Amino acid sequence: MRKLNQRIIISEYLGEVQNDNGFDEPQWDDTYYSCWSAFNQISGKEFISAKANNSENIVTFTVRYCNKTKVLLVPGATKQYKVIYKEKDYD
């Protein structure tokens, strides 16, 4: 069994808010849920797209099942929630 020794924040999407310049910006609730998890990096790759270097890392977070994490199993939940781990956002 993996050790749940990495702290993550599950953030909920609240909608768009207009900034001072009139542009819509996404607003997130970073206080939705904070829990312990196990972090595992599956793979990573770099590629060139539109004349820019890009990278893609596939990672997994293992958490205990509860009512707050149950909503992540609903289809389309990846657009409504994100994970913040070590000050980086993960879809």
Dihedral (C-alpha) 79, 57, 11, 23: value to the nearest 10 degrees? -60
In the structure encoding, which two tokens stand for residue 2, read together? 């993996």
Identify the helix (H) or strand (E) that includes residue 35: strand 24-49
Model confidence at 67: pLDDT above 70: yes
Give pLDDT tens digits for 2-52: 799 999 999 999 999 998 998 999 999 999 999 999 999 887 676 666 667
Return the structure tokens found at 82: 């994100």
Is 1 inside any structural domain? no
The answer as to whether 62 is a domain residue is: yes
Residues in the chain: 91
* 17 strand-pairing partners: 25
pTM of the predicted model as reported, rounded to 2 decimal places: 0.79
Expressed as residue numbers, the domain containing 65 is: 6-90
Q: For residue 39, how many other CB atoms are within 10 A of its CB? A: 17
Number of domains in the chain: 1
